[in-house]
Chains A and B, each alone.
Chain A
Amino acid sequence: MRNTLAISLVATIAVVGCSNLERSRSLANPATPAKTIALQVCSNCHGIDGNSLSPNFPNLAAQQKPYFMAQLKEFRGHNRLDPDGFEYMWGLSRSLTDSQIEGLADYYAAQTPKRPATTASQLTSEGREIFEKGVPEKKIPPCSTCHGDRGQGNEAFPRLAYQHADYVYKQLMVFQRTNERPEGAVMKTVAHELTEQNMRAVAAFVQEFPAP
């Protein structure tokens, strides 16, 4: 047994010498390819194809590249102060290079978002109203103005379609009630008059994004 263990140890150490950058989980090496980081690290929470299982973590599939890059840089620069931002993302992003961030943005932009099962509930109907028409009496503009008719996003405005409702709701709360996402200051104005029910409704709608 002693020999077995010793041989195994030596073999293990030998294998280390052949460490493969294509399967690295190093976040401090500028040479680690973006796709490797996406698969070896990001996938743990966001899914291999950017469709995450847990609503704690946003879907990244088909996310707008400029928005995606801006967020990672906000995490890296400690400018996004929302709990999920600093608890999970500050550290992971701290040593990423601009080029790795761009590579990650490209990787996720190219993924196909998965549409969750639709429930066609009253809540989603309410959400559709807000998304498509806004709340005129409160001067809340339609979400679609910036985020697109199909919630697909537009450059700096993120894709919302098929995003986890819980995540969207929490981010709306962050925008409305805190200054933890200064880069999203425009949303503070937009979300200012939304009620909690409004936020839940629009979040439920964008998660399903049922056909008109």
Chain B
Amino acid sequence: MATTLFSTRRPAILISHWTAAKLIAMSMLLLLTSNMANALPAFARQTGQNCVACHAGGQFPELTPYGRMFKLTGYTIGERTSVPLSVMAVASYAKVSDTAKTDDSTVDFQKNGAPLFASSSLFLAGKVTDNIGVFVQNTYDNYAAQSEGPNGELGRFKGHSSADNMDFRYADRFIGKDQDLIFGVSLNNNPSVADPWNSVAAWMQYVPGASPTSHQFFDGPYPELGAGGNLAGLSAYAYWNQTIYAEVGLYRTANRAFSFMSAGIPDADTTKLSGTNPYWRLAYNREWGPHNIMVGTSGMIAHVYDGGSDISDPNNKARFKNTGVDAQYQYLLDPHTITVQVAYMRQKEAYSANTIAGAAPPYFLADGVTPVAAVNPSDKTNALRAKLTYVYQAKYGGSLSFFNVTGNANTLNQTSGYDSTSLITTDDPGGTGITSTRVNGNLSGNPATRGFTYEAFWTPIQYARVGVQYTAYNKFNGASDNYDGFGRNAKDNNTLRFYIWAAY
């Protein structure tokens, strides 16, 4: 037991105001962001507690057992605040290992080596009544769109705000000497966002906490639902004796009365579902001493129209079936926080009839010789992600993440071509007019991507965190070497990233 524990942690008001002001001002000024959501000072003001009460080791958004209870009881513990608002921002800087093997590095790596103030989020969050609470996130993406010059060259980025995670919740708790039942309903726009564990699809993406807009190559693959996250859904859940958690939800397109749940997202980019689509979740939880563990399963079946397609044509409808298992272990005993998360998600996508009909001609496996079937009517991908984190005194931390995506070779994934007769790789393999992107290309048509992310971070005050991450790929788009057919190797995409996160 380190005795320094007793001399380094002080009530927030005793921390140097100058230090806090400097850090916050610096971070805010950077007009930042990322999807590292949910360390919500608005919630902290509602309960009067520190972030560590709800977030394991102060790392966001991972919840402690108490944080899970706060969420499942509808964000209603404490006192309603007059201004239930929070802001969050992240700035980052990333460098990719090799930016030479490209046709145009200014296009493929335009954000490389530049400080990014990608976006910021505004949260409306807190208790409304004794049974109702809200968590609404609106995110400003500084890189949401990019203008085009007169000759088709890339122009300036344009930012705009749009709906992010939303969770409107009603909850009640029937608790007595011998039983404890929490029951609730959640109106939300993202399947599994209502879940209190961090290994489900909506939250595992924050492991290790990358922003997809911050850099091309630093957001490793994560298990996600094929249905997307800008939907309108209603889920009902129950948590019995802090042991069994069950949730079922139905999701549909966020339109008409529910269009606010995808507000700000261009219509062509919103996920269009056919009818109502089920989501389910079942988890077993156990707590003993400073330990707690959860093992669970979740899944969804979604009928999704191809992006930007005509939704009156049923031939544009694809079917996604996701089934996942996940687990989380936490050891929480001041000053130590150890957490382990593992998530495995299988996804089967049955392509729309129009997609199949328009599929490109045959391609080849990574050997460049073995042809791949012309059309797979459906494909399977499996994403495994695991993360081990240690945090000391809720201040100093490090994590190791592993990700491994596998799946069958998939002609529809194919973006590069290789002709085994001519031994020539072309940038328009099928003569379809679809130009291959060299860096993002996939010679094999296989989605296999694998690697590790190493991270070290420091949380000097509970409202700010700085960190460095290094992601090393040993497979990317199906191969370790020459995955795009133009000589680019997986490790060329290794990325070093710095970030500053702040929330208030």
Q: How far is the CA of A197 from the CA of B332 in the complex (A)?
A: 23
Chain B residue contacts of A19, Cβ below 8 A: 129-131
Cross-chain contact B78 with A16 (CB below 8 angstroms)? no
Closest to B8 in A: A83
Please give, as numbers and ranges, the residues of chain A lying within 8 Å of B232 by CB-CB distance: 5
Task: Indicate if the CB atoms of B11 and A40 lie closer than 8 Å.
Answer: no
Q: Flag if B3 contacts A177 (CB, 8 Å).
A: yes
In the complex, whether A2 has a CB less than 8 A from a CB of chain B is yes
Tell me whether B77 and A41 are in contact (CB under 8 A). yes
Which of A26, A55, A78, A166 is the most central at the interface, judged by chain B CB atoms within 10 Å of its CB?
Answer: A26
Of B7, B132, B275, which is within 8 A of A178 by CB?
B7
| Cα A88 to Cα B176 with chains together (Å) | 23
Contact B290 A54 (CB under 8 A): yes
For residue A149, give the distance in angstroms from its CB to the closest CB of chain B: 28
Task: Give the residue of A1, A26, A45, A94 whose beta carbon is less than 8 angstroms from that of B252.
Answer: A1
| Bound complex: CA A41 to CA B182 (Å) | 13
Within 8 A of A (CB), among B100-152: 127, 129-132
- Inter-chain contact B234/A54, CB cutoff 8 Å: no
A94 to B173, CA, bound (A): 23
A interface secondary structure, majority: helix
By a CB distance below 8 angstroms, the chain A residues around B130 are 19-21, 23-26
Which positions 47-85 of chain B face chain A at CB distance < 8 Å? 47-50, 52-53, 65-66, 69-70, 73, 76-80
- Is B50 within 8 A of A87, CB to CB? yes
Interface string of A20-51 (1 = CB under 8 A from B): 11011111100000000001110111001100
Known: A5-B187, A6-B257, A27-B79. Contact between A16 and B11, CB under 8 A?
no
- Do residues B53 and A25 form an inter-chain contact, with CB atoms below 8 A? no
CB–CB B78/A92 < 8 A: yes
| 1-43 of chain B: CB within 8 A of chain A | 1, 3, 5-7, 9-12, 14
- Measured CB to CB, the closest approach of chain B to A96, in angstroms, equals 11
Contact count band on A: 35 or more
A55-B73 CB under 8 A given contacts A1-B252, A8-B185, A23-B172? no
Report the number of A-B residue pairs with Cβ-Cβ less than 8 Å. 150
The answer to whether A91 has its CB under 8 Å from any CB of chain B is yes
Contact between A78 and B333 (Cβ–Cβ < 8 Å)? no
CB of B180 within 8 Å of the partner chain: yes
B250 at the interface (CB under 8 A from A): yes
In Å, the complex CA distance between A173 and B4 comes to 11
User: Taking CB as reference atom, which chain B residue is nearest A17?
Assistant: B129
Is the interface on chain B under 10, 10 to 19, 20 to 34, or 35 or more residues? 35 or more
Q: Tell me the minimal C-beta distance from A166 to chain B in angstroms.
A: 7
Q: Are A55 and B11 in contact (CB under 8 A)?
A: no
Contact A81 B11 (CB under 8 A): yes
Please tell me if the beta carbons of B287 and A12 are within 8 angstroms of each other in the complex: no
- B157 interface residue per 8 A CB criterion: no
Distance between A195 CB and nearest chain B CB, rounded to angstroms: 12
> Are B65 and A54 closer than 8 Å at their CB atoms?
yes
Which B-chain residue is minimally distant from A57 (CB atoms)?
B66
Seen from chain B, the residues whose Cβ lies within 8 Å of a Cβ on chain A are: 1, 3, 5-7, 9-12, 14, 44, 47-50, 52-53, 65-66, 69-70, 73, 76-80, 127, 129-132, 170, 172-177, 180, 185, 187, 232, 234, 250, 252, 256-258, 275-276, 287-290, 332-334
New A-B contacts (16) at CB < 8 Å, excluding given A56-B332, A86-B12: A1-B276, A2-B256, A4-B276, A5-B232, A5-B252, A12-B185, A19-B129, A26-B78, A40-B173, A43-B175, A44-B66, A54-B65, A55-B289, A81-B11, A83-B6, A166-B333
30 contacts between A and B (CB under 8 A): A16-B170, A23-B130, A25-B73, A26-B78, A27-B77, A27-B79, A28-B78, A28-B79, A39-B176, A43-B180, A44-B70, A48-B180, A54-B287, A81-B14, A82-B6, A83-B5, A83-B6, A86-B12, A87-B50, A87-B52, A88-B53, A90-B48, A91-B47, A92-B49, A94-B79, A95-B79, A166-B333, A173-B6, A177-B3, A196-B1
Task: Give the top 9 A-B pairs by smallest Cβ distance, nearest first.
Answer: A91-B48, A28-B79, A87-B50, A86-B11, A83-B9, A44-B69, A24-B130, A91-B49, A1-B276
**B-contacting residues of A (Cβ < 8 Å)?**
1-2, 4-6, 8-9, 12, 15-16, 19-21, 23-28, 39-41, 43-45, 48-49, 53-56, 78, 81-84, 86-88, 90-92, 94-95, 166, 169-170, 173-174, 177-178, 180, 196
